[in-house]
A and B are shown apart, each in its own frame.
Chain A
Amino acid sequence: MDTFQETIFKLKKYWADRGCVINEPYDTEVGAGTMAPETFLRVLGAKQYKVAYVQPSRRPADGRYGDNPNRLYKHQQLQVILKPTPADVIDQYLGSLEAIGIDLSKHDLKLEEDNWESPTLGAWGIGWQVMLDGMEITQFTYFQQCGGVDLHHVPAEITYGLERIVSFLQGKESVYDIEWAPGFTYRDVRYFDELQQSVYNFEVADVPRLWRLLDEYEAEAQRLVDGYRVEGLAGADKRRYPLLSAYDNVLKCSNLFNLLDARGAISVTERVGVIARVRKLAVGVAQAFLDQEQYREVA
């Protein structure tokens, strides 16, 4: 029986063998692997790309103080982007499940309709949730739009829920009982992260300060987006223009929004407004980043 990390190694190796760049997690908080620049920005434009990375993803409202066997504040997603999508993409995906020891002739696998949409990212796609013996183990999405832009190549996004898959493989009732590495459980590695972050997210986070931070990060992101649009900016200046930094600030906004939401500080009415603020920034960065492609190509 493979450990958590061994399963990750195998999946990374599997996708590396199929031509993917194996990247490391992004270092700013994200709510999903989709939000990491390796997905959100790489899917834009005509340049082909293949990448796989594990992305710890923070969902403050899903925290349960480390008490719930299946719900986590932070879970690990293995994110694969194949741009454009190869014709045998589903076979490749099924092969990856076999590579980590799932005999698909003995298990019930179904692809059930599940379209994905992220209003905050101006992004949507069409796809499935992959069900294995009744458990959702993967989100499979053909991206169609990102940052409000129709995508040049349609990427396949394959998002594996690693805790679910490994607790399935190891037959554990609780993710905390997963063997992460020989002699170390998931609990050993992550329990206090779940407990303390839940305390912070639900009880301690300073709501007025979080709102101020949101305003600050928003202002910085907006300043950078606006700066790219200034008339007369030379090509060479555009090439070095820090849109990636602008995007980091958007990610900060998104995480602050999630924190405020977990604190119950956002009413239903305000919610729509804050989502629109973040969306405006994300779309602004995406469109500028797409424009910047022509300058990036120049050596």
Chain B
Amino acid sequence: MLPFLLEIGTEEIPDWMIPSALEFLRSKFPGENVRVDGTGRRLVVRADVPARSADREELVTGPSVSVPAKALEGFCAKQGVTAADLAVIDTPKGKYWSFTRQIPGRNAADTLREAIPALIMSIPWPKTMYWPSIGGPKFIRPIRWIVALLGAEIVPFECAGVTSGNTTLGHRRLGARGPLPVTVDNYEQVLRDNFVIVSAAERRAKIETEVAAVAAAKGLQAKPDAKLLEVLTYITEYPTAILGTFDASYLTLPSEVLVTVMRHHQKYFSVETAAGELAPHFIAIMNIPADPEGHVVNGNERVLRARFNDARFFYDVDQKRPLSERVEDLSHVTFQAKVGNYLEKTARVAALAGELGGPDAEAAGHLCKADLTTEMVKEFTDLQGLVGGLYARAQGVTRPVAQAIYEHYKPLSMEDTIPSTAPGQALSVADKVDTLRTCFAVGMIPSGSKDPFALRRAAQGVVKILAEGSLTVTLDELCAGDAKLTAFFRERVEYYCREVRGFAYDEVAAVLAAGYGNLPDALARLDAVKAVRPTADFEPLAAAFKRIKNILKQAGELPAGVPDAALYTEPEAALAAITEATDVATGTYPERLARVALVRPAVDAFFDKILVNDPDPMVRENRLRLLTLLINKFSAIADFSEIVTN
């Protein structure tokens, strides 16, 4: 085994693309013990590679022994062997000429030299560029150097106009300028000496530790932000945390605005007091080890001051016209070209929100889109809804209404929480359902990966709110008979049950087959199915139900009618009696399912002793009717035939 090192030196790759590119390299690299790491300027692969692959033999089959001598000569010439090398082998198709070729093992250097350029150029990127001219390589950003070492030797190749070698580059402006020779062993140390920490894990830990430390030094704590931490890990090579300060007078602005400016625009961590109140500080991550003269802190403070001044300007300008006056301006804001403007949407959403959640929800519906006309939302689009809620509160709107506006885009993801109040849930559902209805009405239905209006996310949000909130409306009522919309919601419900709630695939299929218009009910049934599933009678019963389903399916459609008790034999009578007697309508779902499980002996006895397909068509039909009755009665909680049994 030889240690191998590959470093693809590039111009700054967008932070969010780096982990998946590294994972691709890890999964595709031909070697053992493959480890990947990187920064925006380097993708690094290290592995152990056998110095030489083993020699092997290959049996080459030639023409049939029946071919003319001429053809055999041709085969020998092509393969570079003589007739003396050939032997006859038996194959299922007859006797054939063949010979055994010795294939010598290859040096890893040769294999790698050929494989790596293609591997590098096959990394999938969300968007690529070409350089330096048309027809040039395509990659995420230009490749500027490549280190490829196998043991002590360079693996020589050319890729994207760059020749591989044994020299890297350090930090852009610290340490030595120009190429730095490295070995497999000293690679990380040479880079560390030149202000590059190759390990993402180490950079991440350094940021976390220092962020906590600089906050603690002020008796404060940094607001945890895993996403920002990840971004900063990959846009730095030598991260260092510094604490900056802003004027406490800006704290009169909504903290949401301040945090958004710090987080999204400046990539700062915000800082809180022990009581969870925003403190007039921020933590920035520099890409250099120290700021002894305070240049970096001063610069960042200056930028933040300008940004906060802008925010204050927007806030003050926005207050000159309250939301209630802005509503009519929404006729100039396009919701969707084919669907209409936001004023029209507002009217629909308010009406639906009122139906679902009463007067507070309706009042919130009237105001909820007015913030789209504010300077604040034009500047900080992520804050739509939040700004509406904050402004509504500042303009004297009641707390429940303002809160509903504030939260009406929630949940933004499956990890996000749903609106905390009933009017908020009603408004959020009304807004999303309106979007879905109007888009579906004009045929804008997502297909495959195309979902430009994020309708899946909207539907997923509705599902989450109905499942977890306090609204009584059912999905059926919201879909109002639109079959396409109902089917669209079904996928979202399945996703929610499986991925968010962790139910098994077949349990979800079984329960949804019995209906999902009322989501909390469907979830209660899922819980019950999951609970009774490990009990002794359940899976055998499920298997029996599957058998019944198949029998009924093969029998085709039955003429209407009820089973005639006069035609029953004893096992049928017993099954009919217990089916009739079993109460599946009262009690909790686990209780009801426990009662259903008790039917198993009667079902087993029926199948042991009875042949459904009796020669007498009357008897056969009667038996099919009995099974139909049973299936219909016991499938109201879940269609057990969907359960996968062993």
Cβ-based interface call for A134 (8 A)? yes
B-facing mask of A105-123, CB < 8 A → 1, else 0? 1111111110100000000
A154 contacts B333, C-beta separation under 8 Å: no
A152 touches which one: B133, B293, B305 (CB < 8 A)?
B133
Cβ-based interface call for A234 (8 A)? no
B300 contacts A134, C-beta separation under 8 Å: yes
Cβ-based interface call for B224 (8 A)? no
Nearest Cβ in chain B — how far from A146, in angstroms?
12
* Interface stretch (choices A25-33, A84-92, A196-204): A84-92
A-facing mask of B141-158, CB < 8 A → 1, else 0? 110100000000000000
B296 touches which one: A70, A85, A128, A133 (CB < 8 A)?
A133
Nearest Cβ in chain A — how far from B300, in angstroms?
4
Cβ-based interface call for A132 (8 A)? yes
B173 contacts A144, C-beta separation under 8 Å: no
Given contacts A94-B173, A126-B141, A128-B12, contact A135 B303 (CB under 8 A): yes
A110 contacts B235, C-beta separation under 8 Å: yes
Docked Cα-Cα span, A112 to B133, in Å, equals: 24
Given contacts A106-B293, A144-B129, contact A135 B333 (CB under 8 A): no
- Which residues on the A side are within 8 Å of B133 (C-beta)? 84, 152-154
Nearest Cβ in chain A — how far from B560, in angstroms?
57
Docked Cα-Cα span, A183 to B284, in Å, equals: 36
- Which residues on the B side are within 8 Å of A153 (C-beta)? 132-134
- Which residues on the A side are within 8 Å of B235 (C-beta)? 110, 112
- Which residues on the B side are within 8 Å of A105 (C-beta)? 173-174, 288
B129 contacts A134, C-beta separation under 8 Å: no
B303 touches which one: A107, A125, A133, A151 (CB < 8 A)?
A133
- Which residues on the A side are within 8 Å of B332 (C-beta)? 267-268
Cβ-based interface call for A168 (8 A)? yes
Cβ-based interface call for B69 (8 A)? no
A109 touches which one: B14, B142, B173, B284 (CB < 8 A)?
B173
Given contacts A69-B309, A126-B129, A133-B300, contact A152 B134 (CB under 8 A): yes
Nearest Cβ in chain A — how far from B139, in angstroms?
10
Given contacts A144-B129, A154-B131, A154-B132, contact A268 B287 (CB under 8 A): no
- Which range holds the interface residue count of chain B? 35 or more
A-facing mask of B479-509, CB < 8 A → 1, else 0? 0000000000000000000000000000000
B127 contacts A126, C-beta separation under 8 Å: yes
Nearest Cβ in chain A — how far from B328, in angstroms?
14
Given contacts A70-B310, A104-B173, A106-B293, contact A84 B132 (CB under 8 A): yes
B131 touches which one: A109, A110, A112, A142 (CB < 8 A)?
A142
- Which residues on the B side are within 8 Å of A108 (C-beta)? 284, 286-288, 291, 296, 299
Nearest Cβ in chain A — how far from B343, in angstroms?
12
Nearest Cβ in chain B — how far from A183, in angstroms?
25
Q: With CB as the reference atom, state the residue of chain B lying closest to A133.
A: B299
Nearest Cβ in chain B — how far from A60, in angstroms?
16
Q: With CB as the reference atom, state the residue of chain A lying closest to B13.
A: A113
Docked Cα-Cα span, A170 to B477, in Å, equals: 65
Nearest Cβ in chain A — how far from B106, in angstroms?
33
A115 contacts B287, C-beta separation under 8 Å: no
- For chain B, residues 317 to 333, give those with C-beta under 8 angstroms from any C-beta of chain A: 332-333
- Which residues on the A side are within 8 Å of B266 (C-beta)? 134
Cβ-based interface call for B11 (8 A)? yes
Cβ-based interface call for A173 (8 A)? yes
Cβ-based interface call for A150 (8 A)? yes
Nearest Cβ in chain A — how far from B629, in angstroms?
60
B287 contacts A109, C-beta separation under 8 Å: yes
A269 contacts B295, C-beta separation under 8 Å: no
Docked Cα-Cα span, A272 to B286, in Å, equals: 40
Interface size, chain A (Cβ < 8 Å): 40
Nearest Cβ in chain B — how far from A148, in angstroms?
15
A134 contacts B304, C-beta separation under 8 Å: yes
Cβ-based interface call for B136 (8 A)? yes
- Which residues on the A side are within 8 Å of B300 (C-beta)? 133-134
B306 contacts A70, C-beta separation under 8 Å: yes
Q: With CB as the reference atom, state the residue of chain A lying closest to B332.
A: A267
Cβ-based interface call for B15 (8 A)? yes
Q: Which of A110, A111, A134 has the most CB of B within 10 A?
A: A134
- Which residues on the B side are within 8 Å of A113 (C-beta)? 12, 14-15
Given contacts A105-B173, A108-B288, A151-B134, contact A87 B310 (CB under 8 A): no
- For chain A, residues 60 to 111, give those with C-beta under 8 angstroms from any C-beta of chain B: 68-71, 84-85, 87, 90, 94, 104-111
A107 touches which one: B136, B295, B309 (CB < 8 A)?
B295
A85 touches which one: B131, B173, B303, B313 (CB < 8 A)?
B131
B132 contacts A85, C-beta separation under 8 Å: yes
Docked Cα-Cα span, A142 to B141, in Å, equals: 9
Q: With CB as the reference atom, state the residue of chain B lying closest to A84.
A: B132
Cβ-based interface call for B82 (8 A)? no
Given contacts A70-B306, A144-B130, A151-B134, contact A106 B295 (CB under 8 A): yes
- Which residues on the B side are within 8 Å of A152 (C-beta)? 133-134
Cβ-based interface call for B218 (8 A)? no
Cβ-based interface call for B236 (8 A)? yes
Docked Cα-Cα span, A81 to B529, in Å, equals: 67
B299 touches which one: A112, A128, A134, A154 (CB < 8 A)?
A134
Binding site for A on B (CB under 8 A): 11-12, 14-15, 40, 127, 129-134, 136, 141-142, 144, 172-174, 235-236, 266, 284, 286-288, 291, 293, 295-296, 298-300, 302-306, 309-310, 313, 332-334, 337
Q: List 6 A-B contacts (CB under 8 A).
A: A68-B309, A110-B287, A113-B12, A142-B142, A144-B130, A154-B136
Closest 10 CB pairs of A and B: A133-B299, A113-B14, A108-B286, A134-B300, A104-B173, A111-B12, A126-B129, A84-B132, A134-B303, A135-B303
Binding site for B on A (CB under 8 A): 68-71, 84-85, 87, 90, 94, 104-113, 115, 125-126, 128, 132-135, 142, 144, 150-154, 168, 173, 267-269, 272
**Given A112-B12, A134-B266, A135-B303; 13 other pairs, CB 8 A cutoff:** A87-B142, A94-B173, A104-B173, A106-B295, A110-B236, A113-B14, A153-B133, A154-B129, A168-B299, A173-B306, A267-B334, A268-B334, A269-B334
